[in-house]
Structures are given as structure tokens and as C-alpha cells.
């Protein structure tokens, strides 16, 4: 049975920890030897040569282990298994040498035997640990027995004879103690091992739950580590890139070789790290004609418990159909709007000619009604303009031309255009400007005019006669804030959230003014956002409303760049 990527990764990590631990032990044991030589020289007899040799071999072995893992998960299954085995078995043999050279039956170094057992806790299960304990016991018995029968020359620990070697009672008693220590330690560690595994299983279960969800996720999901090595690649992702025949993608690096040529344009986006800790999204269009596909790739940085970035998750969403429908919808609106304009022009012209008396004399009564008809027609023309603006916003063709704009001029011009409306409804108009003058803003003048016009229009429309409309311009740190307040009917609290969505009209104004389009504020918000600003509303039903929007004072805060990318993308149709 082959090892899974995750298993391998886990085992490599465990071995790396053991190697690190071993460096500490080697350093500690080496120092201990030196210290003992210095302070205990009178009574303890240790061969510096033998201990030095064991230390040197151990250092070399540890280097070898480290080196074997240099290529991480690319190590073969057999190699990894062998390496795990060596972590314990070789240590047991080395410690047996230590025990032998430090006095065999007299040695106290048998305590070191606990260390390989501990290593086994992380690398093996109960049975493995017990087998290693058995091997350890056999090694020790072999050593003591060999010493006893003289196969191995006894290396006395002390310079005097403490009467332990070749004393049958003490030998049996000591050996039993050592064996019991090993066995009990191993039994104890099996419990620890089980606990560790139970905890791990719990985590794995959680992860598996998530993984099985991601596996069947309707979008493509790919997970990569910081070096773009693939750690997860779900079925949908394989399907999207026509890679169903691939079995072993996990563990490989995300490169152009992995993804079939047809989709090569998506590779850079799959190898892109996020600039922030937020989700980042990009759309990639590939192929032409009926093979054309548009994928939306979103990148989520993955972090561990200590908030360290450990990789990223790519979610690939096929938006081909959505984009096509969007395009068709916008195209339909655009064509319909242009077609509507022709008869609207005819009605406009004819009515105007009759009103002006070009077609013969009209009575004041007739003129009054014809004028009303003319105004209705004008509203229809404005509605068509709104529809066209919306379709352009959605198509990304609502092009912006930014320059330094004098907002003060703009507001004054708009206000004077509305002057007759103010008078007609007997509305008071107030305009408050910053004391030090209104700084210029980086904006598209025609679009900004649309914003101000819409906000004033709304204020006029929804404020009863005798009310008041106020415009406040305030200078903030990086923004200019413009508020348009009225004493009108207001917007019900529950509907304020939806206020800026397309075709939305609040319930109270629906009855008041049934001919509104519900497009104005949608356009306003889009324009303000495109400028890098924000728009908010504060309102209490029956008491009026205040719309406040901000426009950045400096260049570089607008979303032009993004717009250009989007534009390019749209043009590639």
C-alpha cells in the first residue's frame, strides 16, 4: 500500500523533529562525557576513544538522515520507511555501544534506551513500539550475556571493582531492572502514542470532512504550498482542465507542464500569491469562438494557527455562461434603448413644433396639455439614458476620463439648472462651502455631474412644497465630502440597505412618484465607487434624507487601473 501525500509529509516532519532532538542529545552527551572526565576522573573509567568514536558516527548518521530528507516528499516510500526504521534501530544499537563501553552490567547509560522508545512513539503504533522494545531487550541481554561468557571483553565502569560483574545475583537483579524499565517505558509510551493518534485522528476527521466537501465542490479547488507544490486538486478542477486521466498530481509543482496547453493562459494566475491576507480574484479568458471559456480564479491565503502563511487555495469558477448572458442582456438593453430613442425624438420634435405654433395657432389650454405631454416624453428620454448608463456600467463600457475638476463650479452649475424647480416647489436652497475654498478633485466631470444632478433631482422630487434642500461640502483629510440633505419624505429604515441596487424604489415614494426608474442611485453609487469614494445615506422616514458621498482629492485612489483591466477583458470578446 502506497503512502498518501499527507502521511508522507507527516512522517518526514516527525523524522526532522527527531533529527533535531538528536542534535541536542549528542551535544548534551558529548558535554557530559567531558564533564565526567574532568570531575569524575578518579573513579569513573571511560574510554575517550570509544565514546569519541560513537559520538562521531552518530553525528555522521544524523547528517545522513538530514541529507536524505533534503528533497522532502519526493523521497520514495521505501526510502522513507527505511529511514523511519533507522531512526529507532540504529539509535538502539548506538546506545548499546554506549552501555557496553560504559561498563555493561555496571553501566548507568541504559537510561538512554528510553530515547529510541520515545522516537518510536511518534513514528510507530503499539505493535511497532512493542517490537522495538523487544529488540532493545534482546540487544541488552545479548550484551550482558556476551560480557558474561567472555565473548565481549568487559569494560569496567569504575577504576575499582564494585563487585557487580560476574556476580550472578546482582547481574540478574540489575538486568531485570533494566529490562523492566525498557518494557514499562514502552508500555507507557504506547498509551501516549494512542492518545496522540486519537487526537490526530480527530483533526484528520475534521479535515477529511472538509476535504470530501472540497473534493465534490462544484468549483475547481487547488491547494498549493508556498513553493507552489500541489497538495490538493479536486475532481472539478481536473474536469475543467481536462486532466481526468491524471492520478498523481498531488506533490508536483504547479507549472505550465501540468496544465494542458489549451489552458496555459491560466497558469500565471494559479501561480500568483495574494498581496494581502484577503481573497483576491481575477478573470481569465481563454480560447475563441465556441471554445471560449472564462474562468474566475480566486486566491485565498492559507495560514496556520500562528497566522503564518503556509500556502494558498485557488478556487476556479467557470463564468463563461454568466458573462455571455451578461453581455447579451446589456446588448439587448443597449439596442432597445437606441431603438426607443427614434420614436421619442419624433414625439419630442412634433410636440415642440406644435407648442411653438409652427403648425398653426394653438389655444393656451391646448398648449398646457401639449407641454405636459412634452414633459412626460422628456422623462421617457431620461429613462432611456439611465438604461443606457446601466447597460454601459455593466458592460464595463462606461468609460471614465479623469482630470482635476472644480467641484464648486459643478455644484453651482447644477444648482442653477434646478433653480426653476426650487422656485416652482417653493423650496429653500442652501449651499455651504469650506471656508478655505473647495479644493479640486481628481474626477470625471461629466460623471460627477450625473451624481450631483441625480441627488438634487431626488431631493426636489421627494421634498414637499416649502421644504429645504442643503448641500454641504466639507474638506476631509484625503477626501472631499459632499452631502445633499432634504426635508422630504425620507426612506424607511428597512429599505435603506437596498437603496443603491438597480431598479429599487422605496415603498413610500412608489405611490408618490410612480414614474421614477430606480436607476439613479444605482448609477450614482457606481460612479462614486469608481472614483474611489463612498456613498452613504442617513434618513428618518418623514423627516428627510441626507446623502453623503466622498471623492478623493488626489490621483491614484481611483479605480481606473482595475477598470482598464476590465475594459481590456471586455474588449477581448
Contacting positions for other proteins (CB under 8 A): 338, 341-342, 344-346, 348-350, 352-353, 356, 358, 381, 384-385, 388, 392, 397, 399
CB of 362 to other proteins, least distance (A): 16
Q: Output 106 or 395, the one with its CB closest to other proteins.
A: 395
In degrees and rounded to multiples of 5, residue 7 shows phi and psi of -60, -45
Helices (H) and strands (E) in the chain, counts: 16, 12
Of 320, 339, 316, residue with least CA distance to 328: 320
- SS3 category, 549: strand
SS3 431: strand
461-482 b/e (C-beta count within 10 Å ≥ 16 → b): bbbeeebbbbbbbebeeebbbb
SS3 state of residue 518: coil
Kindly state the smallest distance separating residue 298's Cβ from other proteins, in Å: 31
Specify the residue, 235 or 563, whose C-beta has the smaller distance to other proteins.
563
Q: Which of 343, 341, 340, 368 is nearest to 354 (CA)?
A: 368
* Other beta carbons within 10 Å of 434: 14
- In what helix (H) or strand (E) does residue 316 lie, and over which residues does it extend? strand 309-318
Closest to other proteins by CB, 352 or 529: 352
- Residue 467: φ, ψ to 5°: -80, -170
Cβ proximity to other proteins: between 42 and 342 the closer is: 342
Q: Which residues contact 34 (CB under 8 A, 6 or more apart)?
A: none
Of 365 and 571, the one with the shorter C-beta distance to other proteins is 571
Cβ contact 19:65 at 8 Å: yes
252 vs 352, beta carbon nearer other proteins: 352
Backbone angles phi, psi at 352, to 5 degrees: -60, -45
Find the shortest distance in angstroms from Cβ 210 to other proteins: 48
Spatial separation of the C-alpha atoms in residues 109 and 95, rounded to whole Å: 8
DSSP lists the bridge partners of residue 284 as: 295
Residue 21 three-state SS: helix
Beta-strand relationship, 428-432 and 468-475: parallel
Q: How far apart are CA 531 and CA 556, in angstroms?
A: 10
In the complex with other proteins, which residue's Cβ is closer, 23 or 374?
A: 374
Shortest distance in whole angstroms from residue 308 CB to other proteins:
48
User: Cα–Cα distances in Å, from 115 out to 27, 90, 119, 133?
Assistant: 15, 12, 6, 11
With respect to other proteins, which residue has the nearer C-beta, 196 or 353?
353
Residue number with CB closer to other proteins (350 or 557): 350
- Cβ atoms of 255 and 294 closer than 8 Å: no
Q: Which is nearer to other proteins, 158 or 374 (by Cβ)?
A: 374
Amino acid at each position: 500500500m502506497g503512502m498518501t501525500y499527507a502521511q508522507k509529509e507527516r512522517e518526514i516532519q516527525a523524522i526532522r523533529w527527531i533529527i533535531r532532538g538528536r542534535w541536542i542529545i549528542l551535544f548534551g552527551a558529548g558535554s557530559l562525557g567531558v564533564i565526567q572526565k574532568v570531575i569524575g576522573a578518579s573513579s569513573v573509567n571511560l574510554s575517550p576513544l570509544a565514546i569519541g568514536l560513537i559520538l562521531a558516527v552518530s553525528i555522521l548518521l544524523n547528517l545522513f538522515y538530514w541529507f536524505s530528507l533534503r528533497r522532502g516528499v519526493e523521497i520514495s516510500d521505501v526510502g522513507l520507511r527505511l529511514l523511519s526504521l533507522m531512526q529507532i534501530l540504529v539509535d538502539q544499537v548506538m546506545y548499546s555501544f554506549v552501555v557496553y563501553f560504559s561498563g555493561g552490567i555496571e553501566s548507568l547509560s541504559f537510561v538512554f534506551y528510553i530515547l529510541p522508545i520515545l522516537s518510536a512513539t511518534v513514528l510507530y503504533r503499539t505493535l511497532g513500539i512493542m517490537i522495538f522494545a523487544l529488540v532493545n531487550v534482546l540487544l541488552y541481554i545479548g550484551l550482558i550475556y556476551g560480557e558474561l561468557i567472555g565473548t565481549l571483553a568487559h569494560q569496567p565502569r569504575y577504576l575499582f571493582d564494585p563487585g557487580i560483574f560476574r556476580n550472578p545475583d546482582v547481574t540478574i537483579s540489575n538486568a531485570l531492572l533494566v529490562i523492566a524499565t525498557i518494557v514499562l517505558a514502552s508500555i507507557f509510551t504506547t498509551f501516549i502514542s494512542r492518545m496522540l493518534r486519537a487526537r490526530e485522528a480527530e483533526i484528520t476527521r475534521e479535515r477529511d470532512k472538509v476535504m470530501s466537501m472540497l473534493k465534490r465542490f462544484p468549483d475547481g479547488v487547488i491547494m498549493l504550498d508556498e513553493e507552489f507544490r500541489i497538495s490538493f486538486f479536486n475532481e472539478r478542477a481536473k474536469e475543467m482542465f481536462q486532466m481526468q486521466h491524471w492520478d498523481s498530481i498531488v506533490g508536483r509543482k504547479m507549472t505550465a507542464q501540468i496544465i494542458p496547453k489549451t489552458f496555459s493562459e491560466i497558469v500565471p494566475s494559479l501561480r500568483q500569491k495574494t498581496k494581502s491576507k484577503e481573497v483576491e480574484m481575477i478573470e481569465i479568458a481563454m480560447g475563441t469562438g465556441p471554445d471560449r471559456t472564462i474562468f474566475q480564479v480566486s486566491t485565498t491565503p492559507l495560514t496556520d494557527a500562528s497566522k503564518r502563511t503556509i500556502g494558498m487555495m485557488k478556487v476556479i469558477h467557470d463564468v463563461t455562461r454568466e458573462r455571455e448572458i451578461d453581455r447579451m442582456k446589456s446588448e439587448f438593453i443597449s439596442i432597445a434603448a437606441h431603438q426607443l430613442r427614434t420614436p421619442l425624438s419624433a414625439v419630442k420634435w412634433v410636440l415642440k413644433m406644435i407648442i411653438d405654433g409652427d403648425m398653426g395657432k394653438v389655444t393656451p389650454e391646448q398648449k398646457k396639455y401639449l407641454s405636459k405631454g412634452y414633459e412626460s416624453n422628456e422623462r421617457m428620454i431620461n429613462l432611456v439614458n439611465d438604461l443606457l448608463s446601466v447597460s454601459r456600467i455593466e458592460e464595463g463600457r462606461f468609460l471614465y476620463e479623469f482630470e482635476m475638476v472644480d467641484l464648486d463650479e459643478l455644484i453651482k452649475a447644477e444648482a442653477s439648472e434646478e433653480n426653476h424647480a426650487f422656485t416652482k416647489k417653493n423650496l429653500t436652497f442652501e449651499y455651504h462651502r469650506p471656508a478655505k475654498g473647495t479644493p479640486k478633485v481628481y474626477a470625471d466631470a461629466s460623471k460627477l455631474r450625473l451624481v450631483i444632478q441625480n441627488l438634487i433631482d431626488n431631493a426636489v422630487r421627494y421634498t414637499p412644497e416649502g421644504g429645504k434642500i442643503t448641500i454641504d461640502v466639507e474638506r476631509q483629510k484625503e477626501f472631499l465630502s459632499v452631502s445633499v440633505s432634504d426635508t422630504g419624505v425620507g426612506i424607511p429604515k428597512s429599505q435603506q440597505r437596498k437603496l443603491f441596487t438597480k431598479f429599487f424604489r422605496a415603498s413610500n415614494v412608489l405611490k408618490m412618484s410612480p414614474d421614477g426608474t430606480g436607476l439613479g442611485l444605482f448609477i450614482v453609487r457606481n460612479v462614486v465607487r469608481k472614483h474611489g469614494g463612498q456613498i452613504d445615506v442617513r434618513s428618518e422616514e418623514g423627516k428627510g434624507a441626507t446623502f453623503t458621498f466622498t471623492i478623493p482629492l488626489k490621483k491614484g485612489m481611483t479605480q481606473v487601473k482595475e477598470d482598464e483591466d476590465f475594459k481590456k477583458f471586455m474588449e477581448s470578446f
